[in-house]
Amino acid sequence: MFKQEYAISRGFATALLVLCTLAMILSNYIFTKDIAKEIDGYLMQHEYQKIGGEENYRILQELQKREILSYLDTLKREQPEVIDEILASISEAKNDTVTVDASKLDIEAGDLDALLEDTSVYGGTGAMVTLLEFSDFECPYCKEQHMSGVISELRDIYGDDLQYAFKNFPLAQHTHAMNLAIQAKCIEKLWGSEAYLWAIDTLFTTWAAGAEALEVSEDQYGECVSSAEIQNTVEREFGQWRYLGVISTPSVVIIDNWTGEYQVVSGNEDISVYWEKIDAIISKK
């Protein structure tokens, strides 16, 4: 009888030990999963912050998806052999790791000239550094960055060593962004470079600028904002994000005019971030 009770007790103890072990494993799994989820959430928030919020992150994903699908569709129609080469390359390299050194991005001299076409350029013609501000008038982060005065202060500090241009980047989900960009470019066309700077500040502040503010005729202004020429200009500026690797608003592209090397600063960064990068370029000269 004693042996039987002992065997039952020992079996119960073994079962209990197994259950406790399983419980510990499950608890550790859940705890680890929670930590992983928390870390993942933190990293995503960091990514959102880098490009001006979660909305910009989702926009980027959609833009990239559309661009890739559009590009592949064009290749399938016009150069099907390229698709075959891509698929073959993927098959051969699927176990390889590819590293891209983002610090080595560069622009050819002719390409820089093209980037500055159809837009006002402020600063010295012999400037060592170019700043391109990509922005959307309906984006709150863009307004915050632009109205902070960082760009204006940099222009004051570096004088003729720096040239600056504003690039319209109207995002599709912003109802008024394209129209506001067109208004700004019409003000530039009808009234000149200084009026363009005024228009940029005004449109970020009130979304109100136009013929009355500029003292030009309604007919002249109306003809401009409805013209295909101005819309094409804005669309060309928008399309330059693909060439430069701009992935969010606001973004500022800092270009070394001598070497063509450039860096993209995304989000609302402190002026010290720009000082460091611009000083590094100028100190090499």
Per-residue pLDDT of 247-279, as tens digits, reads: 888 999 999 998 888 999 988 899 999 999 999
CB 257, CB 273: distance < 8 Å: no
Helix (H), strand (E) at residue 63: helix 54-78
156 with 230, same domain: the answer is: yes
Question: Which among 64, 99, 134 is the end of a domain?
Answer: 99
Beta bridge partners of 99: none
Residue 269's domain is classified under what CATH number? 3.40.30.10
The pairing of strands 251-256 and 129-135 is antiparallel
Q: In what order do the strands lie in the sheet with 129-135?
A: 122-123, 162-168, 129-135, 251-256, 262-266
Higher pLDDT, 276 or 17: 276
What's residue 102's pLDDT? 39
Residue 73, classified by CB atoms within 10 Å of its CB into exposed (0-12), middle (13-18) or buried (19+), is exposed
- Whether residue 231 sits in one domain with residue 117: yes
pLDDT at 159: 93
Q: Which residues, listed in sequence order, are joined to residue 129 by a DSSP beta bridge? A: 162, 256
- Mean local confidence (pLDDT), 95-105: 38
pLDDT for residue 25: 60
Looking at the structure, do residues 252 and 171 belong to the same domain, yes or no? yes
pLDDT score for 87: 55
Instruction: Let me know whether 13 and 147 are in one domain.
Output: no
Cα separation, 164 vs 145, whole angstroms: 15
Taking CA atoms, 87 is separated from 13, 92, 127, in Å, by: 59, 9, 44
134/180 same-domain check: yes
pTM over 0.85: no
Which residues on neighbouring strands pair with residue 36, listed in sequence order?
none
**Are 203 and 114 part of one and the same domain?**
yes
| One domain for residues 278 and 160 | yes
Domain co-membership, 7 together with 25: yes
Specify whether 36 is located in the same domain as 174. no
If pLDDT is split at 50, 70 and 90, which confidence band does 113 have? Answer: confident
Q: Cβ distance 52 to 135 under 8 Å?
A: no
Count: domains in the chain: 3
Sign of the torsion angle spanned by Cα atoms 58, 61, 64, 66: negative
- Please give the Cα distance from 172 to 178 (Å, whole number): 8
Helix (H, G, I), strand (E, B), or coil: what is residue 44? helix
Give the total residue count for the chain.
285
Strand partners, 133: 166, 252
Cα–Cα distance between 178 and 180 in angstroms, integer? Answer: 5
Q: What is the DSSP string of 198-226?
A: HHHHHHHHHS--SHHHHT--HHHHHHHHT
Domain boundary among 50, 73, 89: 50
Query: Over the chain, what is the mean pLDDT?
Result: 75
Q: In this structure, what token pair is assigned to residue 36?
A: 């992983």
- Residue range(s) defining the domain that contains residue 77: 54-99
Distance CA 25, CA 14 (A): 16
pLDDT for the residue numbered 6: 43
Q: Give the model's pLDDT for residue 100.
A: 31
Res. 178 pLDDT band, cuts 50 70 90: very high
- Does one domain contain both 276 and 184? yes
pLDDT at 3 (0 to 100): 44
Which residues, listed in sequence order, are joined to residue 163 by a DSSP beta bridge? 123, 130
- Per-residue model confidence as pLDDT tens digits over 200-221: 988 888 766 555 555 556 777 7
Asked whether residue 113 falls in the same domain as residue 131, the answer is yes
Query: CA angle, 264 as apex, 258 and 265 as ends, to 5°?
Result: 125
Q: Give the whole-angstrom CA distance, residue 246 versus residue 274.
A: 17
End of a domain among 42, 77, 99?
Answer: 99
pLDDT at 167 over 80: yes
Of the chain, the percentage scoring pLDDT greater than 70 comes to 57
Claim to verify: residue 181 and residue 249 sit in the same structural domain: yes
Residue 172 banded pLDDT, cuts 50, 70, 90: confident
